[in-house]
Each structure stands twice: as structure tokens, then as C-alpha cells.
């Protein structure tokens, strides 16, 4: 049984059909990448997986660990091990990043029947991860994402992911807007999480990040449909030829 | 018009007020009596009381609190925050309680402290020259009422150049027996030039009959004096807390205030602040959290009377149940007060359908070289923010609580003193906890 199975998923936003029949299977331990031009439904997919309001599933199913994901609330999905790093992370004034993270971690631990973690132990746990992502302790004392640059926000999303240790992480254009140094830091964070128990779905526009986070499978998403799937070489094909080649091929 | 507060019964029960034999004090009380007799309690037809009715206060037959040093020791409610290195001054029903307070001499901590009653009897000159100078009975009949019956409270003076290291913690405890009681304490702070003090004021009540605390505070800040005043109001759900502060700032002086109000039946904190000297500055920040039928009214009048003065104010409130929040912020800039900055912001979050917020910002500007702004928003918790927190595993209540806490902490974090910040965080957490309990109870019905 695959970790996550998406079958014939159709999703509409404000009455307009964006995803027009997505089929996708991701097994535990695999890294998948979805590449596509802008406006093609990439973020729609990650928002539907997260359970955001405003995205209407008109047909199809998503099965996660054998359960019907679409009937689960957002918080339940997260506690069951799903994490979505959003393209535009929210700024939450007054809530220190570390407080938020500790609260989220404890919510998960409570759900799993584990002990709650206190502030001191939490800081110890987080220090390693802060180093890899080049985030200072000072930064996590600040309110969540407030005043963070685009790059800092992306790194903060990856920090959340590394603290919460999800089983399935969707990274929605985590690479966009990052210079090569920032990208390498983020990639280290993600690669550090890679393992037999974790699966990733990287959603990206550019091939560049896939040099650093090498995927097992690549899918080309255009016009709300997956036009082609393949191995990591497919990403290089896309970079060389552009998306129009795939659009033409599909139309033929 | 509260007949009870003015009846012969009340006046007789009052007994002898301290310092009556001193003509200056007696005449202050007499004029207070005359003014209150004529005006009565404020009603909603008065502009600055439009959103706060005292009809319920007027209907309660209050008796006066007993005058004189209360010798019995009552337990300090656990809600009162404790601070390291504090000088504790405890007032029960407005009267100084020496048994519960820190014992000290004037020379110990670099400030002169006298309970109001002692100060009235001994006729201190610096009290005589200042008392009643800033809190004007004709401005507000509540001040007239306090003037009429003033007893209890304290006077504090910090001498020229003195910096008080310790936190002066004034704890006001409301303790009713079998009947509703009222008290009218007067506090006077005089800071001579270049002096500094940090004052914390806690207001709590032990559960019981309704009580009416009608406090007036007058603060004189000399040139380059600095005062920080942190106020937490956690009154009983049957309590009426009316507090009027009148503050005058001389040149280069600064006044920073934060007031945190959690519940209470009716709370009105009115502040009249005059930036009278060049380059004086004030910060009047606050937060309130109300549930049930609590009513909190924060009304401020900030007067820029001199050049280069600065004032700023950020008030944030969260309202649940059927509570009511009122913010009235008046900034006045006099014609000669050039190069002035005055800013004011009020933000409220309604946690359910039911609460109401009334907001009346006013700018009255007569000078032309000024920078003034005001803003007011009332909203619900942002659904996008709620979603984001839930997407990290927080359940709906956890997400709401974290956002609500964050909303208030955003302004609490402007208080530099970390001990005070932590104390306020605890108060807010407790409020959220009791709100969750109330929600659960309601759900079970």
C-alpha cells in the first residue's frame, strides 16, 4: 500500500476547475517532484492536501495510510504526519516562533500518547536543527515570520518540518526566491530529514533545486493534469526544452 | 444619582474623615460634595460617558468601607503577581495595611511614603500644595465624589535626582463582608526633577458582595523625571472599578504606562495627561480581556501643551461572551505646541457573536507642525491564521487560544521589564483557561 494515493482528483477554486484529474502514488521513503508552469495547479494540490478552505474537490480521492484524507480536518492531518510548507507563510504577531513550535510538537506528542516536552528540553532538541538551517536562537524568539525576509520565512518552514518530523512533507515552491546559498541551506535541512520513514513531494517551477534534492520520481503538471512522469532525468529534459514541448505532446 | 452614596446614612456611617481639621483639605472635600451633589453620577447623556452606564452602580446600596489602618490580615489572592526586589504596599478596601506591607524607613529606599490618612493628619506641605491640583472635580463628577469622601490611598515623593531601584508594588485588595461597600482612596505621586521610579499597581478582589473602588491618582513629574507604571486589574466579577488618573509632565520628563484589565463587572479607567513641558513624552499602552458580562472603558485625554512633546498609545482587547469594550482617546494639541507627535491605536478581536466594541478616537489639533495619527479596528480572528496553526497540528481551540494570546502579547511585549511581561502572560493564560472552561460548560448544557 502506498503512503499516499491520489486518484482522479478534480479540484475547483471559485467555480473554476484547476486540477483536472490527478493520479499520483507516493510510497514511504520516496522523494517526488512536481514541476510545472505558473498557474497550473501546483499550489492547488498542496492546499488541498493541507485542507485549506476555498478548494472544492469535485471528484476523486486521496488516501493516506489507508484513510480517506479528504474527510479529515487540517489539524488531524497534521497530527497524522502530514506537513505542508507553504509558498507564502503567514506572519503571526505576538506568537514567538519557538512557542508556536513547542505547542505544535506537544500537540503531536499528546496525540501519539507521548510526554509533553518542556521549554528547556525543546531548546536542546531544536539547537541541532537551528545550526543546519543557519537560524539563530534569537530569531526563533521573535514572533512567527514577522519581519522575516522571504528566505528566512522559507528556512523557518523547513525548521518547522524538521521539528515536527512528518511522514509526508509537501514543499510548495520552497526554492522560489532563494539565492544559491540560501537554497543550499534549505536543501541540507530537507536532505537531513530524508529517510526510509519520510516521503517528500517537492513542488517547484525550476529544475535547480532538484540538483540539490535529488528526486526518485518527477512529474510534469501542466493545465491541471500530470502530462508525464519519469525519473530524475525528466527534470533535466524540462529544463532543456521548457514546458511547451509537453503541452504540444499532450495535445497531439 | 446614587442616593445611597449621598444619604445621611452613608455619611454617618463614614465617621470622621482624616484631616478634617485642616482647612485646605476640608474645603477640597466640601467643594467635592457640592459638585457631586449638583451633578450626581455621570449618565449616558454626558459625552464622555456615552458608552458606559452607571445605572447598575447607582442601584446598589453601598456602605462606606471602614476608615483607618486595617489591622486584620487577609490573604493576598494568588492572582496578584509577585516580583523579585519589590517593596510591597498593600491596601485593603483602599486603606493601607501595615501588617501586610513591607516595613521600611524613608531613607531605606530613597522615597518618602505616607498612607493618605497619616499625611492628611500631619498636614505635609508638599501634599498641601499639590493635592487636588491635577484631578479637577468639575471635569468629572466621579472625581468630585472621590474628593468628597477621600480617605485611604497614599502619598509618595521621590526627591531630586533619586532613582528608586526597587519596584514599588501597590496591591489593592477588595474585601467585602456581608454587604456591598465603597471606598474613595486618593494617591499622590510627586517626582522631583531627575528622579525615577517604577510602580506596579495590582487590583484584585476576594469574591463576595459587589464593591465600588473609586480611586483617584495624581502624578506630578518634574523636569527629566521618569515614571513607569504597570497596572493589572483583575477585579471580582461583581466589582465596580473606577479609576481616574491625572498626570502632569514637566520638560524632558517621561511617563510610561501599561494597564492590563481582565474581566470585572464594570471597569472604567480614565486618564488625563498633560504634556506641559518641552520634550516631555508619554506612552499609554494597555490590553484587556473580557468575558461574560464584563465592561471595560478606557478613556484618555492627552494634552500637548508644549513643543516637541510626544505621546503614543496602543490598546488591544479581546472580547468574549457578551462583554463590552469602550475606547475613547482624545488627543489635543494646543496652538503653540509645535513639532508634536501624537499616535493612537486601538485594536479589538471579538471571539464570538455577542460582544460589542465602541471606539471614539478624537484629534483636536490647533498647531500646524504636528504628526498625529489614530486607528481603530475591530475584527474576528483571521481564518487564514487559524488554518495555518491547525495545519501544524493545533486543534481549533488551541489555535484560537494561541492567536488570541499572540494578539495581546504583541502589545504586552512593549513592556521592557521581563518580569512584568511574564506576569501579564500568566494573567492572559489564566483568562484563556477560564474561558475554555466556560465554553465547555456552555457546550454541556
Q: Predicted ipTM? A: 0.94
Lowest mean pLDDT among B10-19, B135-144, B331-340, B353-362: B10-19
Q: What are phi and psi of B417, to 5 degrees?
A: -65, 115
Q: Domain residue spans in chain A?
A: 4-90+166-251
Instruction: Choose the closest CB to A104 out of B383, B387, B392.
Output: B392
The answer to whether residue B34 is domain-embedded is yes
Taking Cα atoms as reference points, which of B295, B355, B271, B256 lies closest to residue B57?
B295
Per-residue model confidence (pLDDT) at position B1: 47
Subunit contact B384:A73, Cβ cutoff 8 A: no
Cβ A107–B393 below 8 Å, yes or no? yes
The phi, psi pair for A210, rounded to 5°, reads: -75, -5
Q: CA of A48: which chain B residue's CA is closest?
A: B391
Please indicate whether, in this complex, the C-beta atoms of B385 and A90 are within 8 angstroms of each other: yes
Minimum Cα–Cα distance from A72: chain B residue: B391
Q: Give the global pTM.
A: 0.91
Of A78, A99, A111, the CB nearest to B391: A78
Tell whether B83 is covered by a domain: yes
Tell me the pLDDT of chain A (252 aa) as tens digits: 789 999 999 999 999 999 999 999 999 999 999 999 887 788 999 999 999 999 999 999 999 999 999 999 999 999 999 999 998 888 988 889 999 999 999 999 999 999 999 988 998 989 988 988 889 999 999 999 999 988 889 889 999 999 999 999 999 998 888 888 888 888 988 898 899 999 999 999 888 899 999 999 999 999 899 999 999 999 998 888 888 887 777 776
Phi first, then psi, for residue B32 (nearest 5°) are: -60, -45
Whether B409 and A164 lie within 8 Å, measured CB to CB: no
Between A173-182, B36-45, B255-264, the lowest mean confidence (pLDDT) is in A173-182
Is B441 part of a structural domain of the chain?
A: no
Q: How many domains does chain B have?
A: 1
Structural domain of residue B144, as residue ranges? 3-381
Instruction: Answer yes or no: do B394 and A103 touch at CB < 8 A.
Output: yes
Tell me which chain B residue has its CA closest to the CA of residue A160. Answer: B392
Q: Please state, in angstroms and as integers, the Cα–Cα distance from residue B71 to each residue in B41, B93, B97, B196, B382, following that order.
A: 32, 12, 7, 32, 51
The C-alpha atoms of residue A101 and residue B116 are separated, in whole angstroms, by 50
Contact B391/A at CB under 8 A? yes
Residue B70 forms part of a structural domain: yes
For residue B401, being part of any structural domain is answered with: no
At B195-229, the pLDDT tens digits run 999 999 999 998 888 999 999 999 999 999 999 99
Q: Report the interhelical angle of B418-444 vs B396-412 (nearest 10°).
A: 150
pLDDT the model gives residue B72: 72
Residue A42's nearest CA partner among A82, A11, A4 is A11
Domain assignment present for residue B331? The answer is yes
The answer to the question of residue B118 being in a domain is yes
Q: d(Cα B390, Cα A75) in Å, to the nearest integer?
A: 5
Superfamily (CATH H level) for A4-90+166-251 = P-loop containing nucleotide triphosphate hydrolases (3.40.50.300)
B314, B392, B399, B415: which to substitute to probe chain A, counting the most A Cβ within 10 Å? B392
Burial of A112 (0-12, 13-18, 19+ CB in 10 A): exposed
In a domain, B60, yes or no: yes
Residue B104: exposed, middle, or buried by beta-carbon count in 10 A (0-12, 13-18, 19+)? middle
User: How close B39 comes to chain A (CA, Å)?
Assistant: 44
Tens-digit pLDDT profile for residues B307-363:
999 999 999 999 999 999 999 999 999 999 999 999 999 999 999 999 999 999 999
Give the C-alpha separation, A155 to A183, whole Å: 9
Amino acid at each position: 500500500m502506498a503512503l499516499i494515493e491520489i486518484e482522479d482528483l478534480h479540484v475547483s477554486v471559485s467555480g473554476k476547475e484547476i486540477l483536472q484529474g490527478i493520479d499520483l502514488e507516493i510510497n514511504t521513503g520516496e522523494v517526488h517532484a512536481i514541476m510545472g508552469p505558473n498557474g497550473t495547479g501546483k499550489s492547488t494540490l498542496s492546499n488541498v492536501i493541507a485542507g485549506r478552505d476555498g478548494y472544492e474537490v469535485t471528484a476523486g480521492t486521496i488516501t493516506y495510510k489507508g484513510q480517506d484524507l479528504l474527510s479529515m480536518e487540517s489539524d488531524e492531518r497534521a497530527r497524522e504526519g502530514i506537513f505542508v510548507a507553504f509558498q507564502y507563510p503567514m506572519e503571526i504577531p505576538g506568537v514567538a516562533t519557538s512557542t508556536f513550535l513547542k505547542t505544535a510538537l506537544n500537540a503531536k506528542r499528546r496525540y501519539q500518547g507521548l510526554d509533553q516536552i518542556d521549554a528547556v528540553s525543546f531548546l536542546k532538541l531544536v539547537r541541532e536543527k537551528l545550526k543546519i538551517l543557519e537560524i539563530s536562537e534569537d530569531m526563533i524568539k521573535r514572533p512567527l515570520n514577522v519581519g522575516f525576509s522571504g528566505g528566512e520565512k522559507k528556512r523557518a518552514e523547513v525548521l518547522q518540518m524538521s521539528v515536527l518530523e512528518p511522514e509526508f512533507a509537501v514543499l510548495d515552491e520552497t526554492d522560489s526566491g532563494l539565492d544559491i546559498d540560501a537554497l543550499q541551506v534549505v536543501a541540507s535541512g530537507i536532505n537531513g530529514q530524508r529517510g526510509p520513514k519520510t516521503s517528500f513531494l517537492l513542488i517547484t517551477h525550476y529544475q535547480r533545486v532538484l540538483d540539490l534534492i535529488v528526486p526518485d520520481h518527477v512529474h510534469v503538471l501542466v493545465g491541471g493534469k500530470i502530462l508525464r512522469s519519469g525519473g530524475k532525468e525528466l527534470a533535466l529534459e524540462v529544463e532543456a526544452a521548457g514546458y511547451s514541448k509537453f503541452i504540444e505532446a499532450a495535445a497531439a | 444619582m446614587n442616593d445611597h452614596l449621598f444619604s445621611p446614612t452613608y455619611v454617618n456611617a463614614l465617621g470622621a474623615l482624616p484631616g478634617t481639621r485642616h482647612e485646605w483639605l476640608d474645603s477640597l472635600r466640601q467643594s467635592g460634595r457640592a459638585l457631586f451633589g449638583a451633578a450626581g453620577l455621570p449618565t449616558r447623556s454626558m459625552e464622555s460617558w456615552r458608552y458606559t452606564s452607571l445605572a447598575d452602580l447607582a442601584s446598589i446600596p453601598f456602605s462606606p468601607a471602614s476608615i483607618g489602618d486595617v489591622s486584620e490580615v487577609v490573604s493576598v489572592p494568588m492572582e496578584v503577581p509577585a516580583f523579585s526586589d519589590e517593596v510591597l504596599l498593600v491596601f485593603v478596601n483602599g486603606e493601607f495595611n501595615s501588617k501586610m506591607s513591607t516595613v521600611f524607613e524613608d531613607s531605606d529606599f530613597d522615597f518618602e511614603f505616607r498612607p493618605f490618612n497619616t499625611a492628611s493628619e500631619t498636614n505635609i506641605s508638599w501634599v498641601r500644595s499639590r493635592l487636588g491640583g491635577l484631578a479637577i472635580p468639575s471635569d468629572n463628577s466621579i472625581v468630585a465624589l472621590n474628593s468628597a469622601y477621600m480617605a485611604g490611598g497614599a502619598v509618595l515623593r521621590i526627591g531630586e535626582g533619586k532613582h528608586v531601584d526597587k519596584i514599588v508594588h501597590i496591591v489593592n485588595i477588595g474585601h467585602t463582608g456581608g454587604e456591598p461597600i465603597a471606598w474613595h482612596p486618593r494617591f499622590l505621586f510627586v517626582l522631583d526633577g531627575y528622579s525615577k521610579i517604577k510602580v506596579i499597581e495590582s487590583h484584585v478582589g476576594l469574591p463576595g458582595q459587589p464593591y465600588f473602588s473609586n480611586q483617584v491618582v495624581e502624578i506630578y513629574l518634574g523636569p527629566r523625571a521618569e515614571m513607569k507604571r504597570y497596572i493589572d486589574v483583575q477585579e471580582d466579577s461583581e466589582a465596580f472599578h473606577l479609576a481616574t488618573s491625572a498626570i502632569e509632565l514637566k520638560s524632558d520628563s517621561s511617563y510610561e504606562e501599561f494597564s492590563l484589565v481582565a474581566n470585572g463587572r464594570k471597569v472604567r479607567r480614565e486618564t488625563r495627561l498633560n504634556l506641559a513641558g518641552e520634550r516631555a513624552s508619554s506612552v499609554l499602552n494597555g490590553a484587556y480581556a473580557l468575558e461574560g458580562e464584563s465592561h471595560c472603558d478606557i478613556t484618555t485625554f492627552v494634552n500637548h501643551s508644549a513643543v516637541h512633546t510626544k505621546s503614543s498609545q496602543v490598546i488591544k482587547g479581546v472580547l468574549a461572551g457578551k462583554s463590552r469594550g469602550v475606547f475613547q482617546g482624545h488627543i489635543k494639541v494646543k496652538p503653540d505646541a509645535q513639532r508634536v507627535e501624537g499616535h493612537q491605536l486601538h485594536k479589538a478581536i471579538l471571539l464570538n457573536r455577542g460582544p460589542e466594541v465602541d471606539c471614539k478616537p478624537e484629534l483636536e489639533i490647533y498647531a500646524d507642525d504636528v504628526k498625529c495619527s489614530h486607528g481603530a479596528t475591530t475584527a474576528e480572528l483571521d481564518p487564514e491564521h487559524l488554518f495555518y496553526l491547525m495545519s501544524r497540528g493545533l486543534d481549533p481551540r488551541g489555535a484560537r487560544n494561541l492567536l488570541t494570546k499572540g494578539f495581546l502579547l504583541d502589545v504586552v511585549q512593549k513592556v521592557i521589564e521581563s518580569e512584568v511581561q511574564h506576569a501579564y502572560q500568566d494573567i492572559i493564560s489564566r483568562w484563556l483557561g477560564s474561558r475554555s472552561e466556560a465554553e465547555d460548560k456552555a457546550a454541556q448544557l
